[in-house]
Amino acid sequence: MDFFEAQARAKKRTTRLVVLFAFAVAGTIIAAYFAALFGFGAYGSTHSRRSASYDYAAASADYSLWQPSLFAGVALGTLAVVGLASLYKWSQYSSGGSAVAESVGGRRVDPHTTDLKERRLLNVVEEMAIASGVPVPAVYVLDDEPALNAFAAGLTTSDAAVCVTRGTMEKLTRDELQGVVGHEFSHILNGDMRLNLRIASIIFGILVLGLAGRGILWSLRGIRLRGKNSGGVLAFIVVTGLALLIIGYVGYFFGRLIQAAVSRQREFLADASAVQFTRNPAGLTGALRKIGGYALGSSLETHKAAEIGHFFFAQGFSSAFGGLWATHPPLPERIRAIDPQFDGQMFVPPEVVDVAHESFVAAGLAPAKPTTDLTASLTAPLAAIASIGSLTPGQISGAAALLDATPARLRTATHTPAEAPVLLYGLLLDDDPAIREKQRALVAARAGTDALRLLDELDPALRTLRPEHRLPLLQLALPALRSLPPTSLAPFLDALDELVHADGRVSPFEFALQKLLTRTLALGCAPGGATVQYYSFNALTAEISVVLSALAHTSSNLDMDARAAFAAGATQIKLIETQLAFLAESACDYSALDGALDKLAIASGPIKQRTLMAAAHVVGADGQILIAEAELLRAISAALDVPMPPLTAVG
């Protein structure tokens, strides 16, 4: 799956979706207009006929089906109601995936859980996040849902959440759970999450008219008529409520049809991506067969999740109108799309499930041994760019091996808001004893003596840490860091900046850590703030020059070699190749690089793609990847909101 192509498809689908829903809203406006025309006409004629001077001929002549002022009023009123309701729902969702998961009753899984099933779920999610280069999503469980289902929600990869039902966590094997999580990671990586939230918001906006009508009718219960004119007023209110109810639900009906049609096609694509990620079709088909075999299947108990039914891994609610509202294809179709030899036989649940002899690996406490070594499973720069937004079995097994080789005490620290900041302090400690002591004093002054004691406790494990483990530890720590309150987050970032500058210089890793951290936290706090503002390469030649020059200088201390590396990258952007300028090291320092990346972060997908491809050619120009180059390239990728898998590097 090509990440940039998938993002472009998601935008095209969004445009088509907006057009389709515009037609649905237009139909709602027309229906409301004729209802108003009929209602006002009927109400006016009833009162006029009571007058002795009522002229039937004149009334008929004056009556017209087209009344611009009435239509304008109805259209503006309908658009206002639908628009405000949709914006209200969008504002609820804009807090990110965790807000969506919690709105339907999700419980966040404690990173320190000792529950074997929860530990297995966390391991699978962490492996896929490290392999794909995205921040580790928040993980939630729907405790009251015994059926098999799951969903991913969020606006960006930085605020994503993966939520599974209790049944999914308890009834699936590790391979099957990996297939389901791979399906959800497909939605995270290809832009489906944001589209899902837009669909839910617009459908809620259309439904609000029906809800308003139902509320009007419900409010009339028990009302007694008083006065000779009260009957007409009551009749008008009843007609208005009934009209709103019918109009709203007619629009809702067609909105749900559009929602279902869009969702069904995307589920096939997500299934295919999950199989591509894991190279284990049996895992995904096994999960689907279990859904078809268990009595509860994928049906959800709570109706809180009805409005996000299209988010889920499988059909969460009964589909009305003969399947027209079904958000997912039938299970046999999904299974046959993966396994053409499927015989139609679903899973047969055993009467007694014996898990006493489940292996340590199958229990999820240790990942399966990779079929390739860590170095072989990681990717070269060009391959990394090509695999952005995708996952391979090699990447997943490589991530599992990388996590397995990370000191357990440090992995534990990533899961705790109190310890994760101190861990990052530790990652920045210098090898020079004098500078190290200065940094320890900074930690004590900024974070307190307790933080210093914890830093000393982590120090033995930090000294054994290999360079390729440092950025993955940051990825693991991001969920805990996102939970820090603003009053704690700001001092933490200030302390981190002081530690970086304690020796008077900034290393590629230090820049990478700060950039990854600040960009991810910013998007996590305001996921809706990332908007495209640049569509032209010509508007960004200076910024692209800074990025490629900074990488070239990182790859070599010799000006001649750095210039050659820059040229290798510049040739990848033919449109502006002659306008790109190789800059002196002082003109592309980390301050200049930081500003350039901030501007490129709001560029279009094609600009980001070609820039990253050019950057990869710069890094790979000399045939080897230095650790500094790998870390800087991943920082650049993260700053552009593009997930990049880990890279093989040498010292």
Find tokens 């829903």 and name the residue. Answer: 21
DSSP, collapsed to helix, strand or coil, labels residue 285 as helix
How much is the mean pLDDT over the chain?
80
Global pTM value: 0.71
For the ranges 61-65, 89-93, 136-140, the maximum mean pLDDT occurs at 136-140
- Round to whole Å and give the CA distance between 151 and 267: 12
So which residues are the catalytic ones?
184
The pLDDT-based confidence of 361 (bands split at 50, 70, 90) is: very low
Which residues does 593 contact at the CB level (< 8 Å), separation at least 6? 511, 546, 547, 550
What's the N-to-C CA distance of the chain in angstroms?
Answer: 31
Residue pair 209/247 in contact by the 8 Å Cβ criterion: yes
What are 141's strand-pairing partners?
107, 164
More confident residue, 583 or 60: 583
pLDDT digits (tens, 9 = 90+) for 597-642: 999 988 988 899 899 989 988 988 887 788 888 888 888 888 888 8
275, two tokens: 């199989």
How crowded is residue 385: how many other Cβ atoms within 10 Å of its Cβ?
A: 23
Read off the amino acid at residue 319: S
What pLDDT was estimated at residue 379? 45
Residue pair 416/472 in contact by the 8 Å Cβ criterion: no
pLDDT digits (tens, 9 = 90+) for 371-415: 333 333 334 666 666 666 666 777 788 888 888 888 999 999 999
More confident residue, 435 or 36: 435
279, two tokens: 């190279």
**pLDDT above 90: percentage of residues in the chain:** 29
Which residues does 417 contact at the CB level (< 8 Å), separation at least 6? 480, 481, 483, 484
What pLDDT was estimated at residue 579? 94
pLDDT digits (tens, 9 = 90+) for 197-228: 888 888 788 777 777 777 776 776 656 555 55
More confident residue, 148 or 94: 148
User: What does the CA dihedral 484, 487, 489, 490 come to, rounded to 10 degrees?
Assistant: 170
What pLDDT was estimated at residue 165? 94
What pLDDT was estimated at residue 88? 87
- Round to whole Å and give the CA distance between 614 and 381: 10
More confident residue, 237 or 480: 480
249, two tokens: 């639900």
- Round to whole Å and give the CA distance between 253 and 250: 5
φ, ψ at 617 (rounded to 5°):
-70, -35
User: Which of 62-76, 217-231, 362-376 shows the lowest mean pLDDT across its residues?
Assistant: 362-376
pLDDT digits (tens, 9 = 90+) for 536-588: 999 999 999 999 999 999 887 777 789 999 999 999 999 999 999 999 999 99
- Round to whole Å and give the CA distance between 481 and 521: 8
What pLDDT was estimated at residue 526? 61
What pLDDT was estimated at residue 560? 78
What pLDDT was estimated at residue 360? 32
- Round to whole Å and give the CA distance between 619 and 385: 12
Residue 596 has pLDDT above 80, yes or no: yes
